[in-house]
Amino acid sequence: MNKLVKLFITSISAITLALVSFTSSFAKVEGDYIVLGSAISLTGKYSSNGVHTQNGYNMAVERINKMGGVEVQGKKYKFEIIYYDDESNPKRAAQLAERLIKQDGVHYMLGPYSSGLTKAIAPVTEKYKIPMVEANGASRSLFTKGYKYLFAVLSPANQYLEVAIDLAVEKNGGKGVRIAQAFEQDAFSQDVRLGILDAAKRTGSEIIIDDKLPKELNDMAATLAKVKATKPDVLVVSGHTKGALTAIRQISEMKVDVPMLAMTHCDAAKLSKQHGKKSEYALCASQWHKNLSYKDKFFGSGKKYDRDFKKEFGYAPPYQSAESSAALLVFKDAFERANSFDRDAVRDALKTTEMQTFYGNIKFGPGGQNTAKPMILFQVRCKGDECENKVVAPTKWASDKFYHPIPKWSERS
Amino acid sequence: MDFLIFKAPMLMVQASLDGILLGILFALIAYGMALQWGVMNIINIAQGDLVILGGYIAYTMYLAGIHPAWGVIVSPIIMYFVGWYLYKLVINKVVDRDLFISILATFGIAIVMQQLMNFIFGADVVVAQSEYGTTMLFDNSVTLPNSKIFSAFISVLYAVGLVIYMKKSRLGRAIRATAQNARAAKILGVDTEKVYAATFGINAALCGVAGALIAITLTLHPYVGLPYTVRSFMIVIVAGLGNLPAVAISGMGLGLFEEFADYILGTEFRIGAVFMLLVFILVYRRFKLSKKREYLK
């Protein structure tokens, strides 16, 4: 009896194994479906942005499938995504990428949320020669490692606030400005810092305060006291949502008067909602805004995307969702141009991508970064207690005039 | 590097006041830790997470339209029961074991709490607005957020209240007796089990107060508890157990030290400097103890 049971178990496991290996060898394209894989932060500290990313992916999958799918060699295919929760943990993300590729047989990947997690996954996709289109890893170091299978639809981190410095110089009559900056010590923020250093050099500006904020820090009083004492022309802050919220809270409490304040992550931090009028005049870097005039045939315009997304998920799409949706448009375009499911053919097609999406123009540079889309800046403006983000730069898309200098706290009601 | 702070005397005043006000708040958290460390011999890794949970209680009130400052009354009441149940659920099983087990257990509690808070309140960083305004001194060159002054004041109030309670009340005396000698206290009729539960509850309540204050002065996020644990651990290490004035002084001292390290060494070494100080103090203490031992020989 015992022997029989053993034999039974062995044969069952043998069959399962055979089945698994059989299905996985076809998993890249199953029937009518092109299977993409993604490790995404559904729990842990990145979970809110992870969900924005996932919603962006899902929205695009549904839209593309509904509008005829992807046509390869005369046959129509649909997209399908296998998700795993990476718990906002880089190690876990790398394991899951490995699992997606080796066990699930995924041949095409979508990126996770954040630069840190993309950095953890990229070596894995590179090792197995899996093309990955990512939409949420902006760190410059992703694009200097010579990765051949990594493509990012977003602008790299060093471009985030360069425009702000140019704007300050322009307001200063073309002369260099005095910059105070505080950046968190993480890959992304430090890349933003490098961009500012470049811009300062280019414009002959001087950096008078250059603080690096420890990750655990949630108090910037010392930095702001220095800013008060030295009176710079521009204050630049980047430290994810925590940095943005802390900066506005303490600038308003300490009554720090500075003519221009430039930041990142304002919309992710829901700055205008959480701090209301205190956040007015803050200048924020963004990858995308619904008012931009880019168009495509799947989502129409940014405004239409905004409406559709709201209807589907019940909240206005942050740029993290928009860029994630764009990643799928890029994949569809590449599959159709490659007209094949061969990984290298798809990669080569991705490399020569040149298209417009509702999110912006997309063309990949030699490192895989998107070189065709500029960053935009918006400024928080309030009417009564209602605050809104208005695009002020670059001038081509500006819907409102850039308000400069910021009025002193003593003059603000 | 030129030292900005020595050029502008007002910066010195600003840094000192910032450091002291924040230090007082940290001292309150540390006092709770010292109390239950002294009584139960447990190093509570979840201390910071209790603080953050307290903060979220105040934040929830703020969302409901109640002024978040009321959190300093509501939050400790809720947190007392949270602490009490945590004791009954987990801590009472590790209270007589060695320190390592209790560190593991509270570390586990910390992880569960973080995930639960993330699940309930979301992963966004949030703030509660007190709209308390700002006090300006010396012709606007030194600015103190009233919310920070408020939080220091409330911290002192609670700490003093607790000291009096520990001295005068029956439970306070029972707690102190248990801290001195649990076995003797038990023989003399003190229900030590109850004392432990109450102590853990009081600690959680103190964390609740501190959390509500942090909600209106700093920011909240489910995963920022650990720095508060580490800071209060340091304050307790420096001050020693069961010595409230020392905890207060050490809290303010650390706050000051941190602010000045920021100006002199740079912001990036701010927290590093505090760790260096900790190492220095531990080595110094060991050195002093070893001298004492030699003398006894």
Whose structure tokens read 């829901």? A270
Average pLDDT over residues A364-377: 90
Q: Determine, yes or no, domain membership for A234.
A: yes
* A52 and A109 within one domain: yes
Between CA A80 and CA A58 the distance in angstroms is: 9
Average pLDDT over residues B125-153: 85
- The confidence score (pLDDT) of residue A94 equals 94
- The confidence score (pLDDT) of residue B264 equals 85
**A202 pLDDT tier (thresholds 50, 70, 90):** very high
* A114 and A65 within one domain: yes
pLDDT of B141 strictly over 60: yes
* A304 and A231 within one domain: no
* A243 and A169 within one domain: yes
- The total number of structural domains in chain B stands at 1
Q: How close A49 gets to chain B, by Cα (Å)? A: 9
- The confidence score (pLDDT) of residue B1 equals 47
* A333 and A267 within one domain: no
pLDDT of A101 strictly over 80: yes
Between CA A240 and CA A189 the distance in angstroms is: 8
Pairwise pLDDT comparison (B98 vs B50), residue with the higher score: B50
Between CA A129 and CA A132 the distance in angstroms is: 9
Q: Determine, yes or no, domain membership for A313.
A: yes
Which of B59, B116, B142, B219 is the mutation pick for testing A, counting most A CBs within 10 A?
Answer: B219
CATH number at residue A86: 3.40.50.2300
Contact flag B222-A253 (C-beta cutoff 8 Å): no
Q: Determine, yes or no, domain membership for A2.
A: no
User: Which chain A residue has its CA at the smallest distance from B228's CA?
Assistant: A216
Sign of the alpha-carbon torsion through A381, A52, A376, B218? positive
- The confidence score (pLDDT) of residue A15 equals 64
Which of B6, B124, B130, B276 is the mutation pick for testing A, counting most A CBs within 10 A?
Answer: B124
* A233 and A304 within one domain: no
Q: What integer best gives the mean pLDDT of chain B?
A: 88
Q: Determine, yes or no, domain membership for A78.
A: yes
- The total number of structural domains in chain A stands at 2
Q: Which residues of B touch A43 (CB under 8 A)?
A: 115, 118-119
Q: Determine, yes or no, domain membership for A221.
A: yes
* A386 and A254 within one domain: yes
* A282 and A165 within one domain: yes
Contact flag A216-B227 (C-beta cutoff 8 Å): yes
The tally of CA atoms less than 13 A away on the side-chain side of residue A112 is: 33
Domain around B229: 4-296
Q: ipTM, 2 decimals?
A: 0.83
Tell me the per-residue pLDDT of B201-229, one tens digit each, with 9 for 90 and over.
Answer: 999 999 999 999 999 988 898 988 888 99
Q: Give CA angle at A322 (A143, A138), nearest 5°.
A: 20
* A392 and A275 within one domain: yes
Tell me the per-residue pLDDT of B164-188, one tens digit each, with 9 for 90 and over.
Answer: 998 999 999 999 899 888 889 999 9
For the purposes of burial, counting CB atoms within 10 Å of the CB of B131, is it exposed (0-12), middle (13-18) or buried (19 or more)?
Answer: exposed
Contact flag B219-A242 (C-beta cutoff 8 Å): yes
Domain around A231: 159-286+375-411
* A138 and A46 within one domain: yes
pLDDT of A106 strictly over 50: yes
Tell me the per-residue pLDDT of A383-399, one tens digit each, with 9 for 90 and over.
Answer: 888 888 888 888 777 88
- The confidence score (pLDDT) of residue A354 equals 93
Query: Letter for the amino acid at A12?
Result: I
Q: Determine, yes or no, domain membership for A347.
A: yes
User: CA A118 → CA A125, A139, A327, B238, distances in Å?
Assistant: 10, 9, 14, 41
* A219 and A272 within one domain: yes
Out of B15, B147, B221, the one facing A253 most closely (by C-beta) is B147
pLDDT of A191 strictly over 50: yes
Tell me the per-residue pLDDT of A285-327, one tens digit each, with 9 for 90 and over.
Answer: 989 988 888 899 899 999 999 999 999 999 889 889 999 999 9
Contact flag B223-A253 (C-beta cutoff 8 Å): no
* A123 and A86 within one domain: yes
Q: Determine, yes or no, domain membership for A9.
A: no
Contact flag A218-B122 (C-beta cutoff 8 Å): no
CATH number at residue B27: 1.10.3470
Q: Determine, yes or no, domain membership for A87.
A: yes
Q: Which residues of B touch A250 (CB under 8 A)?
A: 145
Between CA B86 and CA A398 the distance in angstroms is: 55
